[in-house]
Amino acid sequence: MTIYSIIFYILALLILVSTGLAITRRNLVHAVIYLVFSFFGSALLFYLFGAPLLAVLEVIIYAGAIMILFLFIIMMVKVETSEERMFPLNQWLPAAVIGLLYLAIGALLVSSAPGKDIPLEMALTHPKEFGQYLFQRHWLSIEIVSLLLLIALIGALHLGRRKREEKIEEKP
C-alpha cells in the first residue's frame, strides 16, 4: 500500500461522506455547500489521476460556476424547506428496489470484469499536450460544444425575457 493509495481511499471517503450529507440535507444552502466539498474532493482525485488541467476546470466550472449559480437561484426565490417530507414512502420503495438491483448487478460486473486488478500507474498529462491533443484531434467536437453553449445562452435569455413580457401583459 503506497502513499497514493492511502490518498485515494481518504479522498473517496471524503467524497462519499460529503455527497451523502448533501443529498440528505433539508436546507438547500447546506446541501450546495456540502456538494462544493464533494467537487473539491473530485478535483483532487483528478489531480491524483494525472489530469491537472481537468482538476482546475472542475474547481472553476463545477465548484465555482455551477454551484454559485445554484446558490443564486436558492437565494433569489423563497424556498419552503420545512414542508418537504424527507423521503416519502411511495418514492422511497421503488428507489430502494432499483438501487439494490443496480448495486447487485454493478458489484457482480465489477468483480467479474477482466482487468479489474490491473493497478493504475502514476502518470501526468501536461496541460500543453492535452490542449494540443484536444484542439488537433477534436476541433469539430469543440465547435459543436461551443454551439451548444451558445444555444444554452440564448435559451436562458429567452426564458428570462418571456416571463417579464407576460407579467407586463397581466398587469393592466
Partner 1 sequence: MIVPFGHVLILAGILFLMGMFCAVTRRNLIMIVLGIEIMLNAASIVFIGAALRWHHLEGQVFVVFILAVAATEVSVGLALIVYAYLRTGSFDPGTYNLLK
Site for partner 1 in 127-156 (CB under 8 A): 129-130, 133-134, 137-138, 141, 145, 148-149, 151-153, 155-156
CB 11 within 8 A of CB 34: no
User: x-or-dash pattern for partner 1, window 11-30, by CB under 8 A?
Assistant: -x--xx--xx-xx----x--
Cell of 155: 435559451
Q: Does 2 bind partner 1 (CB under 8 A)?
A: yes
Name which position in 10, 75, 99, 104 contacts partner 1 (CB under 8 A).
Answer: 99
CB 22 within 8 A of CB 35: yes
Q: Does 104 bind partner 1 (CB under 8 A)?
A: no
Number of alpha carbons in the 13 Å side-chain half-sphere of residue 6 = 3
Q: Amino acid letter at 35?
A: L
> Measured from the CB of residue 171, what is the shortest distance to partner 1 in angstroms?
14
**20 membership: H or E segment, kind and range:** helix 3-23
